[in-house]
């Protein structure tokens, strides 16, 4: 059940951030957090765009295609990271089962 009271939601985020040791995150409002995350997302997007199109030719000729390729590369990277995590957890689980037997 989502929390609808913005003050309560902000307070919960604050205490969660304090517990996690992130005092700077605890002081941010939702709007500040969203703005900071937008900057981070744009940084990642521009880095991926530079990787795909280092000369900037695709950005100049077909920005929609560049955007599509950036989306696909980001999705592929996230899927790759997820797969690595799954494999690592399976390997760790197998090691602990072999050690316990």
> Could you tell me the residue range of the domain that residue 74 belongs to?
6-100
Q: How buried is residue 25: exposed, middle or buried, by Cβ count under 10 Å (0-12/13-18/19+)?
A: middle
Mind listing the pLDDT tens digit for each residue in 14-35?
777 777 776 665 567 778 878 8
Q: How buried is residue 26: exposed, middle or buried, by Cβ count under 10 Å (0-12/13-18/19+)?
A: middle
Q: How many CA atoms lie within 13 A of 80 on its CB side?
A: 6
In a domain, 47, yes or no: yes
In a domain, 83, yes or no: yes
Pick left, alpha or beta for residue 41 (phi over 0 → left; psi -120 to 50 → alpha; otherwise beta): alpha
Mind listing the pLDDT tens digit for each residue in 51-75?
999 999 999 999 999 999 999 999 9
Total domains in the chain come to 1
In a domain, 1, yes or no: no
Look up the pTM and report it: 0.64
């Amino acid at each position: 059940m989502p929390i609808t009271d913005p003050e309560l939601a902000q307070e919960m985020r604050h205490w969660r951030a304090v517990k996690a040791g992130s005092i700077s995150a605890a002081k941010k409002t939702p709007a500040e957090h969203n703005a900071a995350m937008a900057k981070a997302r744009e940084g990642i997007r521009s880095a991926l765009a530079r990787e795909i199109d280092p000369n900037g030719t695709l950005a100049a000729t077909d920005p929609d295609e560049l955007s599509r390729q950036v989306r696909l590369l980001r999705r592929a990277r996230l899927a790759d990271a997820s797969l690595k995590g799954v494999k690592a957890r399976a390997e760790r689980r197998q090691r602990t089962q072999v050690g316990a037997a």
